[in-house]
């Protein structure tokens, strides 16, 4: 029996190289290893906390499905689906709500960040970890490849599984996060964590012009031989043994180093960009992939939900 792997990304706009190296590249590598039964989904109900516009949501869903396919997630090898197509996710989330306390959810990073900023948060954001636990646990997931910022959420899923098992008897496997140390938090053009909300991203499918603009905008700390923020991004694209020579020969020459980085990113992104453009021509095919994946996911999830309903005594 293969191990079960599941992960998701929110359809909130174009993925950036932080998403790719932190999480999505692992999706492809682990799928291709042949060691896992893989489920990759679009967390559209999670995204609804951020995107409340019909056209934008619909566009983002189609785009992220194309992105998934373009990086190499073959829909014939993995199940690609949309969270909202499998109503068992929200149903299980509702069951979990009765096991989880408010103070427990108040300890979540996302909630604490919102508190610190003094912004009022909606119930969807408050409950975010509960829905995410349902996403993971419905599929008897063994491993969840994610970036560092999602570690706590996977721990919440484990806690919730444990709690359910204690109350109703052994039902859920405890999932493990899979986080790659060296790319756990990919820095952005300003040195902080790369994130859409910080405006410091390099889009994964960037055009050459976008790459130039983003790299030229990398914040450099004048005075040092090696511009730290340029180097930190560069090492995603080239082995550090190469970089030692390059940076050694160009001490303090920030412009030349940025130009070298532009070429390396463009060489990497170009084939991805081209594959994406090709897939984007077949909207129908892309929609069919989601339909097929949704039906497949529904089969697995609804079988698990029957087991859960029997355990809690409603069936
Ligand atoms: P999101 O776009 O928030 O749905 O994130 C998708 C995946 O990308 C999650 O597994 C995140 O942990 C990961 N991720 C997002 N930003 C970064 C970053 N700067 N470095 C590493 N991983 C990231
Ligand atoms: N919270 C994740 C993110 O922001 C997306 C997500 C939702 C997810 N449900 C999941 C990731 C289940 C892995 C497993 O990136």
In the chain, domain spans: 3-183+282-312, 196-278
State in Å: Cα 46 to ligand 1 middle: 14
**Best mutation site among 22, 135, 140, 177 for ligand 2, i.e. most ligand atoms within 8 A of its Cβ?**
135
Of all ligands present, the nearest one to the C-alpha of 195 is 1
State in Å: Cα 281 to ligand 1 middle: 27
State in Å: Cα 148 to ligand 1 middle: 8
The pLDDT, as a whole number, for residue 175 is 98
State the closest ligand 1 atom to the C-alpha of 150, by its place in the atom list counted from 1.
12
**Ligand 1 pocket, 147 CB below 6 A?**
yes
Among protein residues, the one with the nearest Cα to ligand 1's atom 6 is 9
The pLDDT, as a whole number, for residue 223 is 79
List the CATH code of the domain at 196-278: 1.10.240.10
Extract the residue ranges of the chain whose pLDDT is less than 50.
none
The pLDDT, as a whole number, for residue 236 is 98
The pLDDT, as a whole number, for residue 125 is 94
What is the fold, at CATH topology level, of the domain defined by 3-183+282-312? Answer: Rossmann fold (3.40.50)
The pLDDT, as a whole number, for residue 114 is 86
**Ligand 2 pocket, 175 CB below 6 A?**
no
User: Do 75 and 293 form a contact (C-beta atoms < 8 A)?
Assistant: yes
State in Å: Cα 7 to ligand 2 middle: 6
Strands 176-178 and 3-9: unpaired
CA distance 269 to 289: 24
The pLDDT, as a whole number, for residue 163 is 98
């Amino acid at each position: 029996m293969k191990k079960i792997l599941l992960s998701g990304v929110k359809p909130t706009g174009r993925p950036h190289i932080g998403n790719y190296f932190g999480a999505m590249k692992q999706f492809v590598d682990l799928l291709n290893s042949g060691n896992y039964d893989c489920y990759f989904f679009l967390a559209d109900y999670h995204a609804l906390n951020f995107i409340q516009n019909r056209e934008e949501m619909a566009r983002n869903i189609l785009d992220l499905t194309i992105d998934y396919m373009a990086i190499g997630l073959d829909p014939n090898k993995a199940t690609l689906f949309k969270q909202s197509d499998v109503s068992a996710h929200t149903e299980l989330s509702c069951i979990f709500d009765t096991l989880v306390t408010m103070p427990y959810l108040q300890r979540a990073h996302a909630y604490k960040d919102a508190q610190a900023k003094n912004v009022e948060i909606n119930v969807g954001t408050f409950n975010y970890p509960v829905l995410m636990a349902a996403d993971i646990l419905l599929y008897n997931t063994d491993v969840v490849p994610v970036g560092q910022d999602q570690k706590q959420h996977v721990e919440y899923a484990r806690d919730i599984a444990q709690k359910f098992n204690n109350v109703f008897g052994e039902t859920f496997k405890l999932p493990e996060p899979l986080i790659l140390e060296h790319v756990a938090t990919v820095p952005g053009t300003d040195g902080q964590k790369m994130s859409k909300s910080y405006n410091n991203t390099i889009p994964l499918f960037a055009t050459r012009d976008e790459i130039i603009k983003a790299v030229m905008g990398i914040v450099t700390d004048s005075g040092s031989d090696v511009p730290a923020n340029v180097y930190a991004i560069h090492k995603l694209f080239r082995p550090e043994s190469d970089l030692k020579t390059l940076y050694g020969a160009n001490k303090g020459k920030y412009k030349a180093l940025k130009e070298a980085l532009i070429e390396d990113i463009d060489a990497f992104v170009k084939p991805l960009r081209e594959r994406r453009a090709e897939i984007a021509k077949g909207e129908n095919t892309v929609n069919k992939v989601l339909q097929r994946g949704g039906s497949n996911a529904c089969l697995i999830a609804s079988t698990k939900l029957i087991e859960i309903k029997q355990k809690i005594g409603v069936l």
